[in-house]
Amino acid sequence: MIVAELAAAFGSATDVTPAEDQPLHVLLSNLNLLAPWQPNPTSGLARFAGWPDQRPDFWVSIEVSNGSGPPRSSSEQLVLGKPWRQYSASITWPVEPRTATRAIQLWLNRFADRT
């Protein structure tokens, strides 16, 4: 259900959960970021642990850059065998409506900041 919702909202969403006893992991491969952030489209990965009481964890491609570097306050993190970029974002949780789409959008709002 979450995967279908995210696919409808972001164009592409694939369930990449590594095992049946693990939280849902969703690969979003068609995300569009605000300028100057690039590349567009780019990919993101969401993990819905403790959902919906907890916000999902979210990473973007390590290639994401504003032309001079990655987002400030960010670091590379290994998730599902490859490096992703984890970053800080001020997100108040929970929000209503408590939907997966809204949660990812809150994470992506960080890219309204140009650095």
Partner 1 sequence: MITRLRKLLRISPSPGRQPPSSAPLGGIELRVEASRFDSVPSHVEDVRDGEEAGFLLCGVANAGNRTVLLAREWLPIPARAKVRRSGFGLAWTSAFSAEVLARAQHLQAAVVLIHSHGRSPMPELSGPDRASAAKLFPAFSRILTGLPSGSVVVGADAASGVFWRDGSPLGTLTLLRLVGSPIRLWPPRAELTATRPRRRLDRQTLAIGPRSSARLAECSVAVIGVCGGGSHVCQQLARQGFGRIVPVDDDVVEEVNLGRMVGSTPDDVDRTLKTTVMRRMINSIDPDIVVEEVPSRFPNQATLEAIKSVDLVVSCVDSFIVRDQINTFCRRHHIPLSDVGMNIETEGKQLESAYGQLIVVTPDSVCLRCGGLINEAVLEREKRQRPPGYDRNPNAPGDPQVVSMNGVLASEACNAALDLITGYAAGSRGAGWWNYNGRSGELVRCETPPRRSGCAACAEAGLGDPM
Q: Using CB under 8 A, list all residues that contact partner 1.
A: 18-19, 21-22, 49, 72-78, 80-83, 86-88
Which one, 82 or 114, has the nearer CB to partner 1?
82
Shortest distance, position 97 Cβ to partner 1, whole Å: 25
Place of tokens 């990812």: 104
Shortest distance, position 107 Cβ to partner 1, whole Å: 13
Which one, 38 or 88, has the nearer CB to partner 1?
88
Shortest distance, position 84 Cβ to partner 1, whole Å: 9
The answer to whether the CB of 74 falls within 8 A of the CB of 88 is yes
| CA distances from residue 88 to 4, 7, 61, 109 in whole angstroms, order as listed | 27, 25, 15, 11
Place of tokens 């993101």: 44
Shortest distance, position 62 Cβ to partner 1, whole Å: 8
Which one, 66 or 99, has the nearer CB to partner 1?
66
Is residue 7 helix, strand or coil?
helix
The answer to whether the CB of 47 falls within 8 A of the CB of 23 is yes
Which one, 22 or 40, has the nearer CB to partner 1?
22
Cis bond before residue 36 (omega within 30° of 0): yes
